Structure 1
Amino acid sequence: MSNLDELASSRTVLEPQDEVRIVGQYYDDKTTRLVRKYGPGPRIHYHVGHYPSSKTPLNIEDATADDIRRSIRTHQEGLLRYAAKIWGAEHRLSGRILDVGCGLGGGSLFWAQEYGADVTSVTNAPEHAPIVEGFAREAGVGERVRTVVSDANHLSLDDGPYDAAVAIESSGYFNRPQWFERLSHALRPGASVCVEEVFITRPHGADVWAEYFYTKPATVRDYAEAAQAAGFELVDDVDATSETLPFWEESAAWTKAVLESDSSLSAVERRQLRISLLANQALGAEWGAGGLRLGFLRFELK
C-alpha cells in the first residue's frame, strides 16, 4: 500500500452538509497538537514556511525536535514577511482587515503588530476564539484584534466596509463563488483580497492535500473566475512552490524526532503522528513532482 493509499484509508469521506461543522471540530480537536508543534505563542502559525534558498538550513540528521520546531517557526514567519512584501502590506494591510480562517491567530497578530492593522479574525472553530483573544492580549494588541466565530461564506456585513481580506491556506475550505460574493459587499471599492494557497496543477495532484486536511483545492483559474463573477480582478500571481518545499522535509523530520524521543506518547498520539508523517512525506513528494503549486494571489475589487 502506498503512502497516499494508506493515508486515504484512514480518513472519513465528508457529506456536504456536514463539512462546516466537521472542519470546525477538526481544528478544535487539533489545538493541543498545533501548540506543541508550532508553539509557543503568542504568534502560532498553521501553514507552510518560506525558504528563500529552496533548502532547509538545518542538518536534519543531527537536529532535535526543538531545533526543527524553531526552524519551522522562523520560516513560517518568513512566509508572512514574504507575503507582506508581495502584497504591499504597508499600505494595503495596515487598515481594517479581515483575517478569514485565522487558525490560532498568528497571522492576525502579525498584521496588527507589524503593520498596525485593526484585524477581525474569523474562525469556524469555536474553541479557537478565546485562544486567539488571549494571545492578542499577551502580544499587546488586544484592542486591535477581534475574533468572530463564523462560516466564511456568511460573514457579517455589519462592521464593514473593510480595507482588505487575507486568507492564509484557508480558502480551500470555502465555497469560493459565495465567499467572493460576500467579500464584494464587505470590502470597500479598490480593496484587496490576498490569498496564499495550495493550487491544483494536474488531475488528482491534490488528492493527499484534500484527504488529510479536509479541504477542496482548486486551480488558479477557478479562483480568478469566481472572483471576476463577484467584481474582483486578479492583479498579482506569485509562485513560491520551490521555496516552500523544504517545509515538508522539516515537518516530517520533526514528527520522526518526536516519535523517536518521546516515550510518554500514548498509542493514539503515536497513531496520529504516524498518519501525519505519511501525509508530510506524500505532500513533499507531490510538491516536488509538480502536482501542487503554492501561490500568492491578490485580487482587487473594481
Structure 2
Amino acid sequence: MGRFQTAGTAAHSSATIEAQISDAQYHLGGKLANILDKYGPGPRVHYHIGLFGPDRLDTTVDITLLKHRIVAAQEALIARAAQVWDADAVLHGEIVDIGTGLGGGAIYWAQHHAAIVHALTNVASHIPLIDRFAAAAGVEGRVRPILADAREIPTSLSVDAAVAMESMCYMPREDVISRLGGIVRPGGWLCIQDVFLQRPEWGTAFDAYWKTSIGTANEYVDAARRAGFALDRNEDVTAETTEFWVQSMAWAEARIMTLPPDAAERERLAQSVRWHANFFRAWLDGGIQVRILRFRKTDLGPHSHGRAPQ
C-alpha cells in the first residue's frame, strides 16, 4: 500500500501521554449521562461519528427524528466497517474491542458475526452498563467486559482479531498497537476506524475538545508495521461523515429548546454547537479525515503465539 498524504505530528513525552489518558478517561466517564441522552437508550450505544448519504437533510425536523438519524448513521458506519473488514470472515472466534465505551460495537459484533468479544474499557462505571446492555441484546455470554488500560491488556489473552472503532485517537498508539501485536494470533487481524489529522492547524482544537491525541494515518501504519501488521484495506469515508456535524448541531440546538432558561446544560450545548461548527469546517477543509483500515498479522517473531493462521 502507498503512503498517505498526511501531516506529521510531534512526539509526546510520557508525562503528556499520561495526562492525555487521564483527561480522556475523565471525559468519557463524566459524559455518561450526555452520551445516553444523545445516543441511547441502547442496547447498542455508540460514541463515534456516523455515516450519511450524499444529500443534505432537513434540520428543521423534530428532535426525535434527529436523534434517530444520528444513531442510524452510527450503525451505518459500523456496517460499512464490517464490509471493508470482511467481518464475516475476519471477526469470528475471539476478538477484542479496544476502547469499547458502552459496548455498542462489541454487542454488534457478537450479534451479527457470532464472535466472542472481549470488551476493553478503562472506565469502571461502564462495566455494569455493558453487562446490562449485552443481556438486553441477548449476547451476555459472548460479550465479556475487561477493565484495563489498553497498554496493559492481559498477555494471557489470545484473539483472532482486534477492533477499534474511533477509540485509538484517545490512546498512545505505539504502545497499544505493540501490545496488540502480542495477543493477535499470526494470520489474525487489526481493524481500525478512526479520525486522522491531515492539516496540523486542526490538531490542537480537536484534541482540546475531545480530549484526544489525534494522529496521522501514517503514524498508525508505521506503528502497526513495527508490531507485525501489514495494511491491506484502506477506505476514506470522510465525505460521507460530514453531514454528521450538521445533524449533531441541529440536535443540540433542538435539545436546548427543551431545557429551562436557567439550565446549565444550555451553555454546554451552545458551546458544543460552536465547536461542532468548527469541526464541520475541518471536514470540508480537508483538515481531518475518517478512514477504515484493516491490517493482517504477518510476523512470526517475538509477538507470535506460534499458531498457524486460523
Do both proteins adopt the same fold according to a TM-score greater than 0.5, normalized to the shorter chain? yes
Aligned to 2:188: 191
| d(CA) in 1 for partners of 2:261, 2:225 | 49
Q: Does 1:84 align with 2:82?
A: yes
CA distance in 2, matches of 1:231, 1:32: 39
Higher deviation after alignment, 98-107 or 274-283:
274-283
Q: CA deviation at 1:22?
A: 2.8
C-alpha distance in structure 2 between counterparts of 1:93 and 1:127, whole Å = 27
Who is 2:58 aligned against?
Answer: 59
CA distance, structure 2, for counterparts of residue 251 and residue 84 of structure 1: 24
1:299 is aligned to: 295
Q: Does 1:23 align with 2:24?
A: yes
| Aligned with residue 274 of structure 2, among 275, 278, 283 | 278
CA contact (8 A) 1:54 1:245 kept: no
Could you tell me how far apart the structure 1 residues matched to 2:206 and 2:124 are? 24
Distance of 2:261 and 2:76 partners within structure 1 = 31
Judge conservation of contact 1:55–1:243 (CA < 8 Å) in 2: no
Correspondence for 2:304? none
Aligned residue for 1:259? Answer: 256
Kindly report the root-mean-square deviation, in angstroms, between the aligned alpha carbons of the 2 structures. Answer: 1.4
1:219 deviates by 1.0
- Pairs aligned (count): 284
Task: Tell me if structure 1 keeps the 8 A contact 2:54–2:240.
Answer: yes
Aligned in 2, Cα 1:266/1:236: closer, same or farther, shift over 3 Å?
farther
**Are positions 1:106 and 2:104 aligned together?**
yes
Secondary structure of 1:42's counterpart equals: coil
Deviation at 1:20, TM superposition (A): 2.5
* Identity value in percent: 35
Q: How does 1:1-302 map to 2 (within 5 A)?
A: 15-51=16-52, 53-56=53-56, 58-61=57-60, 63-158=61-156, 160-260=157-257, 262-264=258-260, 267-302=263-298
Q: Is the 8 A contact 1:20 1:124 kept in 2?
A: no
Q: Give the residue type in structure 1 aligned to 2:106.
A: S
Runs of 4+ in 1 over 6 A off after TM superposition: none
Post-superposition offset of 1:109: 0.5
The answer (yes or no) to whether the contact 1:248–1:283 under 8 Å persists in 2 is yes
SS at the partner of 1:225?
helix
Distance 2:252 2:181 in 1: 41
Aligned mates of 1:28, 1:267 — CA distance in 2: 22
Q: Please tell me whether the aligned partners of residues 54 and 244 of structure 1 are also in contact (alpha carbons under 8 angstroms).
A: no
Q: How many Å apart are 1:268 and its aligned residue?
A: 2.3
| Counterparts of 2:115 and 2:163, CA distance in 1 | 12
Query: Aligned partners of 2:247 and 2:237: how far apart in 1?
Result: 17
Give the superposition deviation at 1:218. Answer: 1.1
TM-score (norm 2): 0.88
CA contact (8 A) 2:21 2:171 kept: no
Aligned equivalents of 1:130 and 1:49: distance in 2?
26
| Structure 2: distance between partners of 1:185 and 1:71 | 39
Q: CA 1:72–1:265 in structure 2 vs 1: closer, same or farther (change >3 Å)?
A: farther
Task: Give the match for residue 10 of structure 1.
Answer: none
| Conservation of the 8 A alpha-carbon contact between 2:170 and 2:212 | yes
Equivalent in the alignment of 1:8: none
Deviation at 1:265, TM superposition (A): 7.0
Task: Point out where structure 1 has 5 or more consecutive residues left out of the alignment.
Answer: 1-13
Normalising to structure 1: TM-score of the pair? 0.91
Which one-letter code corresponds to 1:131 in the other structure? L
